Amino acid sequence: MATSGAGGAKARPVKEAPAKKAATAKKAAPAEKAPARKAAPATKTASTKKAAPAEKAAAVAVKKVKAPQTHAGLVRQARRINRELAEVYPYAHPELDFRNPFELLIATVLSAQTTDLRVNQTTPALFAKYPTPEDMAVANPEELEEILRPTGFFRAKARSVLGLSIALRDDFGGEVPGRLEDLVKLPGVGRKTANVVLGNAFGVPGITVDTHFGRLSRRFGWTTSEDPEQVEKDVAALFPKSDWTMLSHRVVFHGRRICHSRKPACGACPIAHLCPSNGIGELDPDKARKLLKYEKGGFPGQRLNPPPDYPGQPAPPLGAS
């Protein structure tokens, strides 16, 4: 009986051992589960965030257009872009208000370092006071500067328009010449200004390389140059001369409305399927539509007196809210 009792006494600690292990296991379990619960959402969020750009990048890669590798291929691509831009902007036009070659010449000189809108808001008062080269040639410099103040750099611009008005009066009988070599001799007039005047006042084809035209020409792969004269030569080689003036208007219209400098609206661009630079801007269609300007975004245009076929609203006069 003593042996049996001794065996019973030893059995008690044997039964307690699993209880201790179970207790230890129960205490350890929450420690293992706690980090697992915190880690799960973190891993899920990280993978979700990483996956989204990857999917977008894949979509961009699919839509990316390969730049033409031959001159013939580049000509075909360039001319197709021009045809499609003609469908998007059938109303493309010079965005400076003018009634004659003299007004267009002066307005184009004033458009340097400012918007066409600001020039259009300024020229009504200017031409009301000085309607001809003869009138402007004898203008009081201080009074001229005050009228031109809203366009910026008004002192330099006043000197330019005074100088070119005197030259028109003295050297060209008060008429704007219709040849590029004569126009570029006038104070403040370069190739860009000369081509604007020739193309829109005299019907002489010309390519106008402003900041928008140069930027889009590089994005389309038509040129790699930053030099305006070289851009003009490179683009001229891709199109018949008869297309030059309207091509300039369409490309500038597109650059001002959709293909912006800092954030192009690629997701709302009607020629994205032809553009080697598709994807450098906003790809989300809804966000891209919010970037559209002028009539494409439901806003007024730049001209106070736009052509009859312009689908947008005219610009407000100077000082209007």
Average confidence (pLDDT) over 138-163: 97
33 appears as a binding residue in the annotation? no
pLDDT for residue 42 is more than 70: no
Does residue 318 belong to any structural domain of this protein?
Answer: no
Query: What pLDDT was estimated at residue 66?
Result: 82
Percent of the chain with pLDDT over 70: 80
Under the banding of pLDDT at 50, 70 and 90, the label for residue 17 is very low
Q: Residue 107 belongs to a domain with what CATH number? A: 1.10.340.30
Query: Total domain count for the chain?
Result: 2
Whether residue 291 sits in one domain with residue 240: yes
Whether residue 129 sits in one domain with residue 67: no
Tokens 């000369």 sit on residue = 194
Query: What pLDDT was estimated at residue 68?
Result: 87
259 appears as a binding residue in the annotation? yes
Does residue 11 belong to any structural domain of this protein?
Answer: no
Under the banding of pLDDT at 50, 70 and 90, the label for residue 2 is very low
| Domain encompassing residue 139 | 101-201
| Among the listed residues 201, 242, 192, the one whose alpha carbon sits nearest the alpha carbon of residue 82 | 242
Average confidence (pLDDT) over 215-242: 98
Whether residue 279 sits in one domain with residue 223: yes
Whether residue 283 sits in one domain with residue 144: no
Does residue 271 belong to any structural domain of this protein?
Answer: yes
Torsion of CA 62, 67, 73, 79, to 10 degrees: 90
Whether residue 223 sits in one domain with residue 177: no
Which of 97, 116, 157, 210 is labelled catalytic?
210
| Among the listed residues 215, 214, 217, 210, the one whose alpha carbon sits nearest the alpha carbon of residue 190 | 210
302 token code pair? 């730049």
Does residue 12 belong to any structural domain of this protein?
Answer: no
pLDDT for residue 224 is more than 90: yes
Handedness of CA 11, 13, 14, 15 (dihedral sign): positive
Active-site residue, 192 included: yes
Please report how many Cα atoms fall inside a 13 Å half-sphere around the Cα of residue 276, on the Cβ side: 16
269 appears as a binding residue in the annotation? yes
106 appears as a binding residue in the annotation? no
Query: What pLDDT was estimated at residue 27?
Result: 40
Whether residue 224 sits in one domain with residue 83: yes
Whether residue 192 sits in one domain with residue 283: no
Residue 69's alpha-carbon distances to 65, 77, 273, in angstroms, are 12, 11, 17
- Write the DSSP string, 232-259: HHHHHTTS-GGGHHHHHHHHHHHHHHTS
Domain boundary among 151, 181, 201: 201
Active-site residue, 210 included: yes
Whether residue 182 sits in one domain with residue 243: no
Length of the chain in terms of residues written: 321
| Among the listed residues 120, 141, 150, 164, the one whose alpha carbon sits nearest the alpha carbon of residue 315 | 120
Phi, psi of 151 (to 5 degrees): -85, -10
pLDDT for residue 109 is more than 60: yes
Under the banding of pLDDT at 50, 70 and 90, the label for residue 142 is very high
pLDDT for residue 219 is more than 60: yes
Are 312 and 294 in contact by the 8 Å Cβ rule? The answer is yes
Whether residue 218 sits in one domain with residue 191: no
- Digit-coded pLDDT (tens) for 81-102: 999 999 999 999 999 999 999 9
Query: What pLDDT was estimated at residue 20?
Result: 42
Phi, psi of 229 (to 5 degrees): -70, -35
Query: What pLDDT was estimated at residue 247?
Result: 98
Are 269 and 275 in contact by the 8 Å Cβ rule? The answer is yes
d(CA 296, CA 301): 10
Does residue 140 belong to any structural domain of this protein?
Answer: yes
Which of 97, 192, 243, 296 is labelled catalytic?
192
- Digit-coded pLDDT (tens) for 170-207: 999 999 999 999 999 999 999 999 999 999 999 999 99
Query: What pLDDT was estimated at residue 48?
Result: 42
Across the chain, what does the average pLDDT equal? 86
Q: How far apart are the first and last CA of the chain?
A: 112
Whether residue 110 sits in one domain with residue 197: yes
Average confidence (pLDDT) over 277-291: 98
Q: Look up residue 291 and give its DSSP letter.
A: T
Does residue 217 belong to any structural domain of this protein?
Answer: yes
Query: What pLDDT was estimated at residue 53?
Result: 45
Domain boundary among 177, 201, 225: 201
Does residue 36 belong to any structural domain of this protein?
Answer: no
Cβ neighbours of 217 (radius 10 Å)? 23
8 token code pair? 């019973």
Q: Look up residue 318 and give its DSSP letter.
A: T
Query: What pLDDT was estimated at residue 321?
Result: 55
Under the banding of pLDDT at 50, 70 and 90, the label for residue 21 is very low
Whether residue 177 sits in one domain with residue 110: yes
Query: What pLDDT was estimated at residue 319?
Result: 84
Does residue 38 belong to any structural domain of this protein?
Answer: no
